[in-house]
Structure 1
């Protein structure tokens, strides 16, 4: 279970974010902080794996909190910035401070779910492999590799995101063959969303689908990752 500290100066927003976190499989929110000082204190007390960090805090900025966390020499605490600040200078400071991602308010629950599952995938890769290969590193940094984990090349349909596409792609390639229901269970997405991504990969030519007939009812669609790239 990935333990999360939620930091936001607005009590109601912090509560909403906490509920969002608790709804994502594999995550639990351990505490809320509403000031920078409280954030630093609660990190020391709860030792979370991840901090959802707002920039606009009443005492010190989230960037300063990030700087102090890194200055404390504790690389085990990761930070995902969630803020209304979208100026280039703040984004650069968060990037240079080691934030794993930067989410701009306002956003919906699905956006946060996607960022958290992407973070979860990153942790899994690093924990499961003592010496990550180039394909693993490419997945972590979101770059193109030759391992079959390349994100789709064409523009994605409305409602689909590269983060969730990578998640579905990874589970599909590991499982060998799945139905949309099985894919939903593996990824934490809804069955409808999982099927949309699977059908997208079929259209791209990177996955194949076959029909499995049962004793009654409609045949089940089974998807298999091929890794083949569509011809130009």
Structure 2
């Protein structure tokens, strides 16, 4: 669990260059909710570390001794190891890229890269990871939204009516995180408390509240007070369109 009380996403780095390995560690751990739990210098070691550490996500290089990245990913799939993979490499030829994408890589990042590029990937991964952990089954529409949230071009809002502009955001709010908040609300039918939203995105409750307040002021969500049983009423945020549909 991280300092916000949410489950962390555990990351294993498989990279043969110690300096790059450390840079990758720093970049990954700058993204809230992610923690590097181990490293490996080549594919053979990486497969052992996956088995030992049971990470959620592997950040994988291509050019390595003792099993390169291509063969490592193939082994991960052959062994049916329950882990996702993001490729971070200097390899830019289309044959390698296609091989890794066919192997099920969540994303492919070409070195050198900036922090914002890997942040975008990890934040998109967090949305999909959280959504698929929320329940045992999903409808086709829910699954479509989950998959779209993880596509490389998903930096634009899935629905134009809810499009948000980074230029208009208050200081301290991030467009990518805002879209993650929207994705979680959509996935849950648009009736979430600040605490439930925070858990779905993997951010602090107070942070989630700031994003929800902004969405409310923008007319994208509406605040509704829900009463049920004993205790204080719960403030829940509902998509404005969803509320109109039920009238």
For the aligned pair, the TM-score class normalised by the smaller chain equals 0.5 to 0.7
* Number of equivalenced pairs: 201
Partner residue, 1:19: 26
Whole-Å separation in 2 of the counterparts to 1:100 and 1:32: 19
- Unaligned ranges ≥5, structure 1: 144-148, 190-194, 209-222
**Is 2:31 aligned against 1:38?**
no
- Unaligned ranges ≥5, structure 2: 1-7, 150-155, 168-173, 205-209, 223-236, 243-247
- Secondary structure of the 1:142 match is helix
Partner residue, 1:100: 106
Partner residue, 2:234: none
Going from structure 1 to structure 2, the CA distance change for 1:16 and 1:135 (only over 3 Å counts) comes to same
- Secondary structure of the 2:39 match is strand
Whole-Å separation in 2 of the counterparts to 1:11 and 1:106: 15
Q: Over residues 168-191 of structure 1, what are the superposed CA-to-partner deviations in whole Å (9 max), with x where a residue is unaligned?
A: 42256657798xxx99xx6759xx
Partner residue, 1:215: none
Going from structure 1 to structure 2, the CA distance change for 1:177 and 1:130 (only over 3 Å counts) comes to closer
* Contact persistence 2:33–2:203 (CA under 8 A): no
Partner residue, 2:182: 169
TM-score under structure 1 length normalisation: 0.67
- Per the TM alignment, residue 114 of structure 1 is displaced from its structure 2 partner at its CA by 1.9
Going from structure 1 to structure 2, the CA distance change for 1:111 and 1:224 (only over 3 Å counts) comes to farther
| Residue of structure 2 aligned with 1:69, choices 51, 72, 76 | 76
Partner residue, 1:151: 158
Higher relative contact order (CA 8 A, sep 6+): 2
TM-score under structure 2 length normalisation: 0.64
Partner residue, 2:127: 121
- Secondary structure of the 2:182 match is helix
